[in-house]
Amino acid sequence: MLEQTSRGAPANLVGWICRGRTWPGLDVARWLSCRSKIEGLMPKPSPTIGINPFTKQPMKLANRPTRDALVLQDGEEVGEMILSGPPTEVLVIGRRDFVLPVARRVAEALDAELAVVP
């Protein structure tokens, strides 16, 4: 498991948002729409910049819009929600105390379930 998200927040798997194990899973269009409508959540900026492991220099990791989201608390990144699948689901990672309330709101908006890692 990753120790940090792409922007430095703790990357602990907290849970996932899904519609059971039915095909095709979550409605991707609804997920993309709700990322900017739910307080504490924002679409992940693109392109993502990382460090090249060989040259140790910054490098562009993606040049297309991302389908993921950042979880923010007082303007600071505390986690991420990552679209995964198939079947389509959203992985919830970060600081449990901050990301769980946002994940519950997302699950409700998507008519889905939040499965929490014990």
Domain boundaries, the chain: 13-116
Residue 52's pLDDT is what?
A: 84
pTM to 2 decimals? 0.76
Cβ–Cβ under 8 Å, residues 92 and 41 = no
Q: Which two tokens stand for residue 53?
A: 């492991």
Q: Which residue has the tokens 């449990």?
A: 96
> What would the pLDDT profile of 33-89 be if each residue is shown by its tens digit?
999 899 999 998 876 777 888 999 988 876 566 789 999 999 999 999 999 877 789
Please give the biggest Cα pair distance in the chain. 45
Measured CA to CA, the distance from residue 114 to residue 106 in angstroms comes to: 9
Separation of alpha carbons 59 and 57, rounded Å: 6
Instruction: Output the pLDDT for position 2.
Output: 39
- Tracing tokens 């997920």 back to the chain, one arrives at 31
Q: Is the pLDDT of residue 106 over 90?
A: yes
Cβ atoms of 92 and 31 closer than 8 Å: no
